[in-house]
Each structure stands twice: as C-alpha cells, then as structure tokens.
C-alpha cells in the first residue's frame, strides 16, 4: 500500500467564491474580488484604496450559520470552510475511529479590536471615553472592564479545536501555528509530517484571515507594502507586471482534508485532489521584511529533493506572487536560478491577482487551486498581468492554459524571514469535476 499523503477534501471562503467550484470558475474566468475599500477613509495614506473582500451575501450566510456570541469571525470563517472540506471528503461517513485525528490551523486575527472597520471605530470610541474619564489608572481600568463582556479574542484563546474534535468524533492532535504569510503552506507540511509519523491518519488543515481595520491598514502602510494603484480596483494586484505597486490585503479562509492514502482507500476514497510530494522550509535572519533569492531557491530545491523530483519534472509554478515590487522580482530571480532556460516555457500562475493576499490563509486557498490545476488539467490565467515586467520575465497567461499537469510547485513566503515551498503531484486517480447540476 502506498504511504502517500493525499488531499481528499477542500473548502474555501474567498472574495471570488464561497465554495470550491465557484472559486475555481472565477480563477479560470479571471473574475476579481478586489474592490475599492469604501468602508474606511483612507485619505492621506500612501496605500490601501483596495481590498479583497468576501461578498456580503456570502458573509451573511456564514454569519447566519456559524456566528455565535463567543466565536470570533475568523473562527466562523474557518468552521464554514472546514465543513465544506469535511463534506467533500465524506468524513461525515467515517465509522468509529481507532486513534486521534490532527488539526493544524492558522488564524490571523487582529486581536480584540475586531475584523471590520466599524468594529475598530467602536473600539477606539470606547477607549477614548474610558481614557478621558479615568486615564490608564489600573484599578479604575479594571473596574471599567469588569462590567463588560470580554470576547475570547481578548485572551487569544478559542474553543475551535474542541469544536473540530466534536465534529470528527475523536480527539485531535492540535497545532495552532503562525509563520506569517507562509503559515498556510507550513500548516500543510506540519499535517503531512504528523500523518507520516503514524500519530494520526487524517488531518484537517485550516486558515483564516479577516482584519480589514484602520489599524492594520495603517501598519501595512507604514511598511510601504500595500498597493498604491488608483485605477480600476480589479487591476490593483498584478503579480510580475511592470506596473505593480504593492499587495492587496484580503479576507478569506480555506480548509483541506489530508490523509494517508491507505486510510483514504480503506474508507473507499480512491480519488483525491493531490499527493503531497515534498516541502522545503527555511528561515532567514538577514532582513525582517525583504525576501532573498537564495532562500527562495533553497526551499524550492529542498521541496524537489524531498519529493525525489528534478526541476524538469515541474509542470507549472503556483507563485507566491504578491504584486510588491521586491517580492515578485525576487521570486522571479529564484525561479530563473532553479529552472534556467525552462523559464521561457514554464507557466506560472498567481492567485493573488484576483483574490488579494490572504496572509496565512493564502497558502491553503492557493493549494486548492494547485490541486485543481492538476485534476482538471488547466493552469489558471493571470489576467491582471497585461504588461509583464521584463525584470521578472515570468511566463503568465491571460487565458487558461489547458494541458495535462503532473506536478505543481507552490511557494509561500512571509515577513520575519519565512520561506516555504511544496511540490504537489497529480494523484493516480484524480477527483473529476462534479457533474453539472
């Protein structure tokens, strides 16, 4: 029996779709979820006029089904995407279990200040009223707080893992991790390692981000990382385009079910989305925010080595592609170092062109695209990159590229010197597209 680790279930809540099929279609059609951020006055900021926002009807549905007084919006998003993935993997049909599952997740939340602009405004009004009345005097502040309901975000603790354990009907080995924007891909690696160790036979991986507040915007603005594009918002994120001006933050969530191929086969799941080939992880200490070519090249080579693959075996690259000046050219140079002359013919996709950047959630959400790229034999276009940057010289397409894809190399990087890369293989029996309803 194969000791492969396979992806058997997927779920997403994104600016371009609240389920996997809608999301995939939007990727192929080049339908953007990036809009003008009209909930905040961004006058005077050197950035931040656009954001990838989950459509209001999807938000309302998630809120209605998953909203609860002591549950953060980030947890609601994760639970919604996890339920999609569990249903997709038919884990609700799992019989009595003989060991724990694994749960690896990354939740990017802004703390007790809420996920939405108005939450933060209210928070600031409350603080101002308090400060004007009692200052920061500890005993008085405590007395003030004692009359208020303090949400779980205040403790940075939640019941999310026990809710998942309850859904699965078994204990979970929990890992809540944070590795900045590489966290999603890192979570997949941690889950795969847990499965390979034999400590669990299937795993839920999830991540969410929702933090479009004036505070977060102001801080990314300080870092000069956000898009300064003032034209059509749908064009604001343009990875590897010579006009790119920065990234666009988004709100999103994604979930995957990973399991050993043996476990999947034992319960009749003979089809899967992807096989985890290998991964590379690294940390660099030379700079806090800037990426480096050698580290990106290192993690990509490690991913290939661990998978027993050669650069020639890579059919396409699902890039980190943030649309910042520095990230894209650095990633491109690393790709050139790894692939050499093949770069002229190597198709590269960049999901953030349509969704914006979902921080840790991006690694999970974009892995869903990598998996479907192989299952469906279609490489999504990068429709916003209409003027490719010759300094990057990355081959992107304005239309879907239809051809068999055996492997996808997926990259994710982050502040704090975080680097991750993972090679996915097409499974022997890929999941077909669902029958049209």
Partner 1 sequence: MASEPAGRQDRPDIVVTGLGVISPAGIGAVPLWEAMAAGKTFFDTGGHDGPAPALPWPSASVDTTEITWPAGRDWANAGKYANQSARWAVAVALQALGQAGIDGDTEDVRGGTVMAVGSSSDELSDVIPQLASRFRHDRRPLAKFLHDEVPDYSYIRGIPSQLGQFVSMASGFRGSNVAAYGEAAAGGAGALALAVRLLESGELDRVLVVGVAPPLTITAMAAFDQDEPLGTRATAGAGPFDAERSGTLLGQGAAAVLLERAEAARGTALARLAGCEVLVAADVMASAEQVVGAVLADADTTPTAWWAHGAGSARLDTAETRAVLPRVDGLPVTGSKGTIGNAFECSALIDTALVVESLARGELPPVGLLRRPDPGLGGLDPVMGEARPLGPAPSALVTAFNQGRHSTAAGALVITTAHEDSTDDGKART
- Give whichever of 201 and 322 is closer to partner 1, judged by the CB atom: 201
Beta strands in 305-374 (DSSP E): 316-318, 347-349
395 contacts partner 1 (rule: CB under 8 A):
no
- The tokens describing 273, both together, are 């989305």
111 contacts partner 1 (rule: CB under 8 A):
yes
- Paired residues of 295 in beta bridges: none
Footprint on residues 297-356 left by partner 1 (CB under 8 A): none
145 contacts partner 1 (rule: CB under 8 A):
yes
Among 61, 193, 342, 406, binds partner 1 (CB under 8 A): 193
Among 19, 31, 61, 112, binds partner 1 (CB under 8 A): 112
Footprint on residues 41-80 left by partner 1 (CB under 8 A): 41-45, 48, 70
139 contacts partner 1 (rule: CB under 8 A):
yes
- Give whichever of 149 and 310 is closer to partner 1, judged by the CB atom: 149
38 contacts partner 1 (rule: CB under 8 A):
no
Minimum Å gap between C-beta 224 and partner 1 is 11
Exposed / middle / buried, residue 192 (Cβ in 10 Å: 0-12, 13-18, 19+): buried
- Give whichever of 111 and 311 is closer to partner 1, judged by the CB atom: 111
Among 120, 240, 339, 424, binds partner 1 (CB under 8 A): 120
Name the nearest CA neighbour of 84 among 175, 8, 177, 163: 8
Q: How far is CA 368 from the centre of its chain?
A: 9
- Give whichever of 197 and 399 is closer to partner 1, judged by the CB atom: 197
CA distance 344 to 392: 11
199 contacts partner 1 (rule: CB under 8 A):
yes
Q: Is the CB of residue 135 less than 8 Å from the CB of residue 62? A: no
165 contacts partner 1 (rule: CB under 8 A):
yes
Name the nearest CA neighbour of 208 among 402, 385, 371, 71: 71
Q: Which stretch binds partner 1 (CB under 8 A): 4-12, 15-23, 60-68, 144-152?
A: 144-152
The strand pair at 347-349 and 316-318 is best described as: parallel
- Give whichever of 259 and 389 is closer to partner 1, judged by the CB atom: 259
86 contacts partner 1 (rule: CB under 8 A):
no
Footprint on residues 413-432 left by partner 1 (CB under 8 A): 415-418
Footprint on residues 207-236 left by partner 1 (CB under 8 A): 214-223
Taking residue 404's Cβ as centre, other Cβ atoms within 10 Å add up to: 8
- Give whichever of 86 and 343 is closer to partner 1, judged by the CB atom: 86
First to last CA, the chain: 35
Q: Is the CB of residue 28 less than 8 Å from the CB of residue 400? A: yes
- The secondary element (H helix, E strand) that includes residue 207 is strand 202-209
- Give whichever of 93 and 166 is closer to partner 1, judged by the CB atom: 166
Contacts for 312 with CB less than 8 Å, ≥ 6 apart: 342
- Paired residues of 410 in beta bridges: 318, 422
- Give whichever of 42 and 208 is closer to partner 1, judged by the CB atom: 42
- The tokens describing 355, both together, are 């969704």
Minimum Å gap between C-beta 376 and partner 1 is 32
Minimum Å gap between C-beta 202 and partner 1 is 10
Report residue 105: phi and psi, to 5°.
Answer: -150, 155
Among 67, 99, 231, 340, binds partner 1 (CB under 8 A): 99
| Strand, coil or helix: 66 | helix
Report residue 382: phi and psi, to 5°.
Answer: -115, 85
Q: Which stretch binds partner 1 (CB under 8 A): 173-181, 230-238, 377-385, 425-433?
A: 173-181
> How distant, in Å, are the alpha carbons of 135, 149, 156 from that of 143?
12, 13, 21
Q: Which stretch binds partner 1 (CB under 8 A): 8-16, 78-86, 183-191, 341-349?
A: 183-191
Minimum Å gap between C-beta 183 and partner 1 is 8
- Give whichever of 160 and 229 is closer to partner 1, judged by the CB atom: 160
The strand pair at 347-349 and 252-260 is best described as: unpaired
- Give whichever of 108 and 405 is closer to partner 1, judged by the CB atom: 108
CA distance 122 to 84: 33
150 contacts partner 1 (rule: CB under 8 A):
yes
């Amino acid at each position: 029996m194969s000791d492969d680790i396979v992806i058997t279930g997927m779920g997403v809540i994104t600016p371009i779709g609240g389920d996997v099929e809608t999301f995939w279609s939007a990727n192929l059609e080049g339908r953007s979820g990036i809009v003008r951020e009209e909930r905040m006055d961004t006058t005077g900021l050197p950035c931040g006029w656009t954001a990838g926002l989950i459509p209001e009807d999807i938000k309302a549905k998630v809120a209605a089904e998953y909203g609860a007084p002591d549950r953060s919006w980030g947890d609601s998003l994760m639970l919604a995407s996890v339920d999609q993935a569990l249903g997709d993997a038919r884990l609700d049909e799992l019989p009595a279990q003989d060991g724990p599952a694994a749960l690896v997740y990354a939740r990017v939340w802004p703390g007790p200040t809420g996920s939405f602009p108005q939450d933060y405004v209210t928070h600031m009004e409350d603080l101002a009223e308090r400060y004007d009345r009692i200052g920061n005097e500890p005993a008085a502040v405590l007395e003030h707080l004692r009359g208020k309901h303090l949400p779980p975000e205040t403790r940075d603790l939640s019941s999310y893992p026990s809710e998942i354990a309850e859904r699965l009907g078994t204990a979970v080995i929990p890992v809540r991790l944070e590795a900045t924007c590489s966290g999603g891909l890192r979570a997949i690696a941690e889950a795969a390692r847990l499965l390979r160790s034999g400590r669990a036979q299937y795993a839920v991986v999830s991540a969410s981000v929702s933090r479009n507040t004036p505070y977060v915007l102001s801080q990314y603005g300080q870092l000069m990382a956000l898009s300064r594009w003032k034209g059509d918002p749908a064009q604001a994120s343009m990875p590897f385009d010579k006009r790119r001006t920065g990234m666009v933050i988004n709100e999103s969530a994604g979930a995957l079910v990973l399991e050993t191929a043996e476990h999947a086969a034992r319960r009749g799941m003979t089809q899967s989305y992807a096989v985890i080939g290998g991964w590379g992880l690294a940390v660099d200490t030379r700079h806090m925010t800037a990426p480096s070519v050698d580290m990106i090249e290192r993690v990509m080579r490690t991913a290939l080595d661990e998978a027993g693959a050669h650069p020639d075996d890579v059919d396409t690259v699902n890039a980190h592609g943030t649309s910042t000046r520095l990230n894209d050219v650095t990633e491109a140079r690393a790709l050139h170092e790894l692939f050499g002359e093949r770069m002229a013919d190597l198709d590269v996709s960049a999901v953030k062109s349509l969704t914006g950047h979902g921080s840790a959630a991006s690694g999970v959400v974009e892995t869903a695209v990598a998996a479907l790229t192989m299952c469906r034999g279609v490489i999504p276009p990068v429709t916003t990159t209409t003027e490719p940057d010759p300094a990057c010289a990355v081959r992107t397409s304005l239309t879907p590229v239809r051809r068999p894809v055996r492997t996808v190399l997926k990259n994710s990087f982050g502040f704090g010197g975080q680097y991750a890369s993972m090679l996915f293989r097409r499974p022997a029996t890929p999941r077909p597209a669902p029958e049209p309803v």
